[in-house]
Homo-oligomer: A and B are copies of this chain.
Amino acid sequence: MIDLDEMKQLVAFADLGTLSKVAEEFHISTPSITRAMQHLEQYFGVPLFTRSKNKIELNETGRLAVDHARKLLSEAEEAVLQVRAFDQRQHTIVVKSCAPAPLWELLPKLSTQKPGMMVSSAICQNDEVLSAWQDGLCDVAILPFPIDGAKPFMQENLFVCVPEDHELTKHKSLTFADINGFNFLLRTELGFWDSLCREKMPSSRFLVQTDVSVFDELVRASSLPCFTTDYGQLQDGYPDRINIPLTDNEAHVTFYLVRKPNKRR
């Protein structure tokens, strides 16, 4: 069968022009590359080169062979990458969540329940989570509404978080309509929360900040309202700030979790 290493050298010769350069490139001697090209030519059974006394060039057939070589090599490398990726995938649990909080809850559990498994998680919009699940691209999907096979996983309630001297503190509770128009500090990677906020508060502007520590700094330093929830962050919320519950139905979310049945084989 054809030797892909020799094919690689053939392609290198097409690119570099002389056997000496190829030898240098591959850290082998010139006789070695000469022999390799002779061997390749012998395998094809047809001349690939025009040879002068101290000059060797590709002929037209040789150039065709180079084209095929390039294709074969890239496909061979692609095949190896795909096999490796498949193996990797066999040992990873891919989680797609519509929000960060369920991941804080789920990931530690997964790590202990499935030792030796990689866990790959991503936060994205509802439709992305859903299509990834339907296309079989993830093993666990977390959505803010039930789908076939899903079980309730946890609840989360949204709060507005404002400085103590903020005008909104006069309210004991709020609705999205109340706070529409205020500008908010917002984090990235919030999944469906992000689009929910923009949808419910079309008149508001959101100052988005990716870096967690920078975000915290901004919250402390500014008087802009932000959001918190009753999962995790509420108990150790920001000092000097007050959390006001939102009463809209959309602010009370039950997350549903579906997981693929364990593949046996």
Which residues from chain A sit less than 8 Å from chain B, CB to CB? 1-5, 7-8, 43-48, 59-61, 64-65, 68-69, 71-73, 75-76, 79-80, 82-84, 86-88, 90, 265
| A61-B86 CB under 8 A given contacts A1-B8, A4-B2, A5-B1 | yes
Provide the bound-state CA to CA distance between A82 and B2, in Å: 14
Which of B8, B46, B71, B80 is the one whose CB lies under 8 Å from A83?
A: B46
The answer to whether B44 and A64 touch across the interface, beta carbons within 8 angstroms, is: no
**Shortest Cβ-Cβ A-B pairs, 3 listed:** A46-B87, A68-B79, A1-B4
Contacts A2-B80, A68-B82, A68-B83 supplied; 10 other A-B pairs, CB < 8 Å? A1-B7, A1-B73, A43-B80, A44-B84, A47-B87, A60-B265, A61-B83, A61-B87, A71-B75, A71-B79
Which of B44, B59, B90 is the one whose CB lies under 8 Å from A80?
A: B44
Closest to A47 in B: B87
Query: A41 to chain B: closest CB distance in Å?
Result: 10
Residue with the highest number of chain B CB atoms closer than 10 Å, among A7, A46, A72: A46
Query: A236 to chain B: closest CB distance in Å?
Result: 43
A65: chain B residues at CB < 8 Å are 79, 83
A5: chain B residues at CB < 8 Å are 1
A72: chain B residues at CB < 8 Å are 72, 75-76, 79
The answer to whether A84 and B45 touch across the interface, beta carbons within 8 angstroms, is: yes
Provide the bound-state CA to CA distance between A211 and B5, in Å: 52
Provide the bound-state CA to CA distance between A84 and B86, in Å: 36
Query: A192 to chain B: closest CB distance in Å?
Result: 34
Query: A88 to chain B: closest CB distance in Å?
Result: 8
A48: chain B residues at CB < 8 Å are 83
Closest to A69 in B: B79
Query: A10 to chain B: closest CB distance in Å?
Result: 11
Query: A262 to chain B: closest CB distance in Å?
Result: 14
Provide the bound-state CA to CA distance between A88 and B88, in Å: 46
A44: chain B residues at CB < 8 Å are 80, 83-84, 87
A76: chain B residues at CB < 8 Å are 1-2, 72
A79: chain B residues at CB < 8 Å are 2, 65, 68-69, 71-72
Provide the bound-state CA to CA distance between A11 and B124, in Å: 41
